[in-house]
Amino acid sequence: MSSTETHLFYNLTPDIILDAVSQTGLEVSGHIAQLNSMENRVFDLRLESGAHVIAKFYRPQRWSREQILEEHRFVKDLAEEEVNVLTPLVLRDETVFKTQNIFFTLWPRKGGREPEEISDIDLQILARLTARLHNCGEKLPFAERPPFSSGRLLLEPLEILQKKGFLHDEIIDEYRSLVTQCITLFQEAIEPLPKIRIHGDLHKGNILNGQEGYFLLDFDDALMGPALQDVWMLCPLHDLARRQVFLDAYREFREFEESWFRSAEIFRAVRIVHYSGWIARRYEDPAFKAAFPAFATAAYWQEEITILADILNSYSDFSEVPVSPKLTNRDYFFDL
């Protein structure tokens, strides 16, 4: 981001937000509340009619207009297939708007709660929803969205971590070695897997349960990738009985080869590295420094090295592993 864009994005004022939304033709009342989001800036606005809209301001230079439009076309395709998703508002035949070089979109406000405990019935519902998402996803490719590749997910984060000095001399060789192992295993894992349009970040924080049942939101990381990337964060991988519950429901709509699960641990390792690269890339943002105060400490990196080493050392066929290690937010959330 340019210094001007950076300053504006970090300091979006109510006046800037209200003026931008008013330019789309909506009549705003002046009532505004910021919602929890770190990668983008998201606000709840009340209109003069009493209705509410959600305004999402994209971090500058992360996505092009064409990439955002592909995201919107995907959710539109899903909605037309009656997959329960949020779709952006269309105003004056547009879904992407711009103010002072910052793209933004407007969405309906829809109530719902993030699932806390997922029962077997919930698991079946989410499996069917995911399978139907993937059935729609395979019908057309993305042309503009980023690749699901070791370069983007591993090499770029490693370069950023090194360039910004987060990897201290005493750990840099070990960390680089672990990432190099991840690259080799990840490339081997994804080579045979079919690539379709996927959500890309399907943790339970991007699923809400509302009056009409479960629905999916935030396709900000949608890309061409393997179905496993969406599945491994929802499916209880090491609880074989519940894994079978998920698979049986998913397979009512779409085939899924159980052997693909063997790559899930490598996908988890990749996500951990990418997560740290994401924090490093955004660390100048005051919100990130406040949210991740331990990121620059030796303890953070020693923990990450231990986790990555454990994953690589235990990499084996999931059918032989009945009990999983407890997963934490660091395994899942990288765009809060």
239/109 Cα distance (integer angstroms): 36
Using DSSP, state whether 318 is helix, strand or coil.
Answer: helix
Residue 272, amino acid? I
Full DSSP string of 45-60: EEETTS-EEEEEEPPT
Tokens (6 digits) for 138: 């395979």
Q: Are 72 and 95 contacting, i.e. CB atoms less than 8 angstroms apart?
A: yes
Residues 6+ apart with CB under 8 A from 314: 265, 321
Residue 266, amino acid? I
169-178 contacts, C-beta under 8 A, 24 or more apart: 171/298, 171/301, 171/302, 171/305, 174/305, 175/301, 175/304, 175/305, 175/308, 178/305, 178/308, 178/309, 178/312
Q: Would you put residue 306 in left (φ > 0), alpha (ψ -120 to 50) or beta?
A: alpha
DSSP state of 258: G
**Active-site residue numbers?**
201, 218
Orientation angle between helical segments 156-163 and 264-281, nearest 10 degrees: 40
